[in-house]
């Protein structure tokens, strides 16, 4: 179908709002993106490119942890291939041990000699999928991978640990003790000495602490008022041992503004200063598949439907930011989107015990690109984000089983987008139509979306073309500087269902693309169903 027929070119007014209309001229390109370099939104925190690893399915056992005596190449029990790939994407932070698992976890189970650690039923054993799975560490938690192992994993990949405490089952005292175990200098406390005896003399200096997880659901079924009181109790006067502790509150499920409003109201009812105890407010949003819900077998309508659902993240950030601002007028509390991704139905797992172990295709890669671009564009509001989950699970960057390991298309997006980390987020004003109506729904998915960041005289632009069929010739205009030279890299596949497997690990990989300069800017053709990064050297 012809692109012009299928798309509704809306003659968007975004350029007018930026006062840039005068710059438009008659042109052959089908779309245009304007990037003013003089009005940055804020610094893109590297933490927007964070990860999440829960004791669920194949994430920890057979994913990250293979054990020191494994024939699988490992670094102290941690899968070497994973470490190498995590370094390539400059992974900044990893959240652990859950998820719902966190609120059933006693951190003391995971310390001391491994052979003596207790075995417990895993939180997810009650899931109907797991009841049909064979027995193993996914059902009966062996606690081989505990605090020391996790913090060593973080050290190996150069990431900060982000630990989620058990608010449902443990006490505030247990939480204090966990901070003590992680952060106190050896020789100062009994718990620090236990850590040192396990081989980690230097404190882990954990800064990020989640106070429960999904406390509106699996984390205790609290009301926002009850949770606010627990939050106050858990976070009052916790010694950080020289580490400025950053507490992250268990925020809303998707668009639940009531949870946000009522929590902020109760937290501050006696003392507005308590906002200072809250570093971040955790938002969870998964986009779910329509149609059959299969991760790999989907229609073009399913493709557009899910990409459109992914873009809901933008309005969720705006809405919760607005609700937080009703009380936190100065916006000292930032959003932490510590679970995001696509959630498909079961059926594509590489192993029966890997709960939620879905395959990731080009569709998931585009969702990753769209979402990371949204975070970049809200660099002033979002302090951290963690894709769920790292390996063998929802929206994973990797699949692994025994000695086999493969990077999914999502990994390649993270590798391309790592270039944004630490840059100044710039406005990207796209002038392009929406994708036409699909599945009986009106059009609201933009044909192109993206984000840009400035790093001295280098500008990084990432662009997602959501069309399943059509390339889009686009004029890229940088306002405030001329483009001296440019290079490009693209992730694209002729089949929207394309994905990497153990047998075909290179089915979807990035490649270099030539970029054509035009006047002081450039014109680029973004292929159908693709994610592109352009690196522009500015004069
Ligand atoms: O990521 C899987 C689960 O989804 C997490 O454990 C939970 O927090 C969320 O509901």
Cα-based angle 360, 254, 445 (whole degrees, multiple of 5): 60
Residue 388 Cβ < 6 Å to ligand 1? yes
Task: Name the CATH superfamily for 21-41+425-538.
Answer: Golgi alpha-mannosidase II (2.60.40.1180)
Reported as a single tens digit per residue, the pLDDT across 446-490 is 999 999 999 999 999 999 999 999 999 999 999 999 999 999 999
**From-to residues of CATH 2.60.40.1180 in the chain:** 21-41+425-538
Residue 213 Cβ < 6 Å to ligand 1? yes
Q: What pLDDT shows up at residue 438?
A: 72
pLDDT over 50 (residue 146) = yes
From ligand 1's centre to the CA of 99, what distance in Å?
5
DSSP readout, 132-157? TSPSSTTTEE---S-HHHHHHHHHHH
Q: Helices 147-157 and 80-88, interaxial angle, to 10°?
A: 50
- Using an 8 Å Cβ cutoff, are 35 and 477 in contact? yes
Lowest mean pLDDT among 148-162, 275-289, 312-326, 429-443: 429-443
Minimum-distance ligand 1 atom for the alpha carbon of 217: 10
Residues in contact with 427: Cβ distance below 8 Å, sequence separation at least 6, in sequence order = 18, 35, 36, 39, 41, 377, 452
pTM assigned to the model: 0.94
Q: What pLDDT shows up at residue 12?
A: 31
Domain boundaries 45-421, CATH class = alpha beta
Q: Is 475 a catalytic residue?
A: no
Cα–Cα dist 181/503, whole Å: 43
Question: Can you list the alpha helix ranges (DSSP code H) found in 159-246?
Answer: 172-183, 190-197, 224-235
pLDDT over 80 (residue 525) = yes
- Using an 8 Å Cβ cutoff, are 214 and 100 in contact? yes
pLDDT over 70 (residue 442) = no
Residue 103 Cβ < 6 Å to ligand 1? no
Residue 338 Cβ < 6 Å to ligand 1? no
pLDDT over 90 (residue 203) = yes
Q: N- to C-terminal Cα distance for the chain?
A: 41
Cα–Cα dist 483/36, whole Å: 13
Q: Is 84 a catalytic residue?
A: no
pLDDT over 90 (residue 437) = no
Lowest mean pLDDT among 12-16, 148-152, 173-177, 370-374: 12-16
Q: What pLDDT shows up at residue 412?
A: 98
**From-to residues of CATH 3.20.20.80 in the chain:** 45-421
Minimum-distance ligand 1 atom for the alpha carbon of 213: 8
- Using an 8 Å Cβ cutoff, are 215 and 222 in contact? yes
Mutation pick for ligand 1 pocket among 58, 96, 98, 287 (CB with most ligand atoms within 8 Å): 98
Reported as a single tens digit per residue, the pLDDT across 297-355 is 999 999 999 999 999 999 999 999 999 999 999 999 999 999 999 999 999 999 999 99
From ligand 1's centre to the CA of 300, what distance in Å?
28
Exactly one of 144, 149, 230, 339 is catalytic; which is it?
339
Residues in contact with 335: Cβ distance below 8 Å, sequence separation at least 6, in sequence order = 251, 280, 281, 282, 283, 317, 320, 321, 324, 378, 381, 382, 383
Minimum-distance ligand 1 atom for the alpha carbon of 339: 1
Exactly one of 149, 214, 230, 308 is catalytic; which is it?
214
> Measuring CA to CA, how many Å separate 226 from each of 197, 231, 233?
39, 9, 11
Q: How many CB atoms lie within 10 A of CB 17?
A: 10
Chain position carrying tokens 């940088």: 478
pLDDT above 70 covers what percent of the chain?
94
Phi, psi dihedral angles at 116 (to 5 degrees): -100, 0
Label residue 503 exposed, middle or buried (CB < 10 Å: 0-12, 13-18, 19+): exposed
Residues in contact with 500: Cβ distance below 8 Å, sequence separation at least 6, in sequence order = 399, 406, 407, 408, 409, 506, 507, 508
538 bridge partner residues: 483
pLDDT over 80 (residue 20) = no
User: What is the pairing mode between strands 334-343 and 42-43?
Assistant: unpaired
Task: Give the rounded distance of the alpha carbon of 254 from its chain centre.
Answer: 15
Here the tokens at position 19 are: 């006062």
From ligand 1's centre to the CA of 237, what distance in Å?
29
User: What's the pLDDT band for 444 if we cut at 50, 70, 90?
Assistant: confident
Q: What pLDDT shows up at residue 11?
A: 29
Q: What pLDDT shows up at residue 28?
A: 56
CA dihedral 297, 301, 303, 305 (to 10 degrees): -130
Residue 339 Cβ < 6 Å to ligand 1? yes
């Amino acid at each position: 179908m012809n692109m012009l027929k299928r798309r509704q070119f809306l003659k968007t007014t975004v350029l007018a709002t930026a006062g840039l209309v005068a710059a438009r001229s008659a042109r052959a390109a089908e779309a245009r993106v304007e990037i003013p370099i003089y009005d940055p939104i804020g610094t893109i925190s590297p933490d927007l490119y964070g990860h999440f690893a829960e004791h669920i399915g194949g994430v920890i056992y057979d994913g990250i942890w293979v054990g020191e005596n494994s024939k699988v190449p490992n670094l102290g029990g941690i899968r070497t291939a994973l470490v190498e790939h995590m370094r390539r994407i400059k992974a900044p932070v990893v959240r652990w041990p859950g998820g719902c698992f966190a609120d059933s976890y006693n951190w003391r189970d995971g310390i001391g000699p491994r052979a003596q650690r207790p075995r417990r039923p895993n939180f997810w054993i009650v899931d109907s999928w797991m009841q049909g799975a064979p027995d193993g560490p996914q059902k009966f938690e062996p606690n081989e991978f505990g605090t020391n192992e996790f913090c060593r994993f973080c050290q190996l990949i150069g990431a900060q640990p982000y630990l989620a405490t058990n608010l449902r089952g443990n006490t505030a005292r247990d939480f204090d003790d966990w901070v003590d175990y992680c952060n106190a200098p050896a020789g100062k406390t009994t718990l620090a000495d236990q850590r040192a005896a396990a081989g980690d003399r230097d404190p882990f200096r954990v800064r990020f602490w989640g106070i429960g997880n999904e406390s509106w659901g699996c984390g205790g079924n609290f009301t926002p008022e009850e949770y606010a009181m627990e939050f106050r109790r858990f976070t009052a006067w916790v010694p950080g041992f020289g580490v400025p502790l950053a507490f992250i509150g268990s925020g809303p499920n998707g668009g639940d503004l009531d949870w946000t409003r009522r929590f902020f109201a109760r937290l501050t009812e006696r003392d507005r200063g308590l906002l200072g105890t809250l570093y971040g407010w955790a938002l969870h949003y998964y986009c779910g598949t329509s149609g059959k819900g299969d991760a790999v077998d989907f229609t073009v309508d399913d493709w557009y439907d899910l990409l459109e659902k992914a873009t809901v993240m933008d309005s969720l950030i705006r809405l919760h930011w607005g609700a937080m601002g009703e009380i936190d007028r100065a916006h000292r509390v930032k959003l932490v989107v510590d679970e995001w991704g696509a959630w498909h139905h079961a059926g594509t797992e590489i192993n029966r015990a890997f709960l939620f172990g879905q395959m990731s295709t080009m569709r998931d890669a585009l969702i990753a690109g769209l979402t990371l671009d949204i975070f970049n564009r809200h660099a002033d509001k979002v302090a951290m984000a963690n894709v769920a989950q790292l390996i063998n699970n929802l929206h994973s960057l990797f699949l692994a089983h025994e000695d086999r390991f493969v990077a999914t298309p999502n990994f390649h997006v993270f590798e391309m987008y790592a270039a944004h980390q630490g840059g100044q987020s710039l406005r990207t004003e796209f002038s392009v139509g929406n994708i036409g109506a699909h599945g009986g729904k009106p059009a609201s998915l933009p044909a192109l979306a993206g984000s840009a960041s400035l790093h001295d005289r280098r500008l990084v632009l990432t662009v997602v073309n959501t069309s399943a069929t059509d390339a889009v010739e686009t004029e890229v205009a940088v306002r405030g500087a001329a483009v001296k030279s440019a290079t490009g890299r693209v992730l694209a596949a002729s089949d929207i269902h394309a994905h990497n497997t153990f047998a075909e690990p290179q089915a979807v990989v990035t490649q270099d693309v030539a970029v054509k300069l035009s006047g002081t800017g450039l014109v680029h053709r973004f292929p159908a169903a693709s994610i592109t990064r352009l690196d522009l050297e500015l004069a």
